[in-house]
Amino acid sequence: MFENDKPFERIRYATEESGSVGRITLARPERHNAQDFLMLHEIDRAFALAAQDDAVRVVILDAEGPNFSSGHDISGAPMEVVNFCVHHVGGFDQPGVLGHMSAEEEYYIGMCWRWRNFPKPTIAQVQGKVIAGGLMLVWPMDLIIASQDATFSDPTVAFGVNGHEYFVHAWELGHRKAKEILFRSSAITAEECRELGMVNHVVPNEDLHAFTLGIAKEIAERPVMGTKLAKMAVNQSLDAQGQWNAIQSAFGLHHVGHANARVMFDGVPVDPTGIEVIKRLSKA
């Protein structure tokens, strides 16, 4: 079961507005909120806490520091499976491809899909850089509110893979823009994302917190039954378009990329040139 009383190390979780708004804050600014498996587990645990608290009607996901998230932690740390309540798959300790694929299936696909189907409205409050795996934190949220300095990129083609694991690029960006971003490994601005329909609002940096909280308060005043049903109806429209099947298919292709990298780069699961692209985007 969840260890609800265990302190968080990578995030913070609190409620505000008399408990009606939950706030999950990525708290690793010294690493530009790069996500290791502990951070992902803690985000998942915080969402579980918010789901179980009937007073919470809306959840905001935000981040400390100048950048929302630089994506997966590429420090070279080994894949470590954190001891937690597994919802999706097992087999993390199996040898070869099976263990690696099972862990990614839980940490990326399983968690993202749970957050996408979280029974209450969610809002991503985004500033600075959002790179690759950082997108898999914001895209499962219902609304995205970005500061004027926010940029979004997925340079994973430079690693020899088709994109980060929660592959909803065509829905978020449209199929042609999704291809361009992946092929070119380039960043796009918050305003362009708003024009594409991926971002709901773009606001000055100094107004980001207050503006996001204002929308959360407005939503929190709506009947819980209404917001729950509305979210289910929109998500089921995406389901009818085949979004879940597409994610699973792209995840399989992702692991073809992993397999190719192991052959091409002597067991190192990423192309070193891809790391250089991530570093360039982080400094841009």
- Return the percentage of the chain with pLDDT > 90, whole number: 68
pLDDT tens per residue across span 151-198: 999 999 988 889 888 999 999 999 999 999 999 999 999 999 999 999
Q: How far apart are the C-alpha atoms of 155 and 277, rounded to whole Å?
A: 7
Q: How far apart are the C-alpha atoms of 98 and 94, rounded to whole Å?
A: 6
pLDDT tens per residue across span 230-267: 999 999 999 999 999 999 999 888 888 888 877 877 55
Confidence at residue 45, expressed as pLDDT on a 0 to 100 scale: 94
Q: Which structural domains are found in the chain, ordered by start? A: 11-210+221-283 (3.90.226.10)
Q: What would the mean pLDDT of 77-95 be, rounded to a whole number? A: 59
Residue 106 banded pLDDT, cuts 50, 70, 90: confident
| 42: pLDDT strictly greater than 80 | yes
Confidence at residue 2, expressed as pLDDT on a 0 to 100 scale: 46
Q: How far apart are the C-alpha atoms of 80 and 93, rounded to whole Å?
A: 10
Could you tell me which residues come within 8 angstroms of residue 151 by beta carbon, excluding any fewer than 6 positions away? 128, 129, 130, 187, 188, 189, 190, 284
**CB 238, CB 86: distance < 8 Å:** no
Return the exposure string of 51-79: e unless at least 16 CB atoms fall within 10 Å of the residue's CB, then b.
eeeeebbbbbbbbbbebbbbbbbbeeeee
- Return the percentage of the chain with pLDDT > 70, whole number: 86
Q: How far apart are the C-alpha atoms of 139 and 145, rounded to whole Å?
A: 11
**CB 140, CB 195: distance < 8 Å:** no
| 125: pLDDT strictly greater than 90 | yes
Report the range of poorest mean pLDDT among 2-16, 111-125, 240-254: 2-16
Q: Which helix (H) or strand (E) holds 130?
A: strand 129-131
| 276: pLDDT strictly greater than 90 | no
pTM for this predicted structure: 0.89
Q: How far apart are the C-alpha atoms of 29 and 115, rounded to whole Å?
A: 22
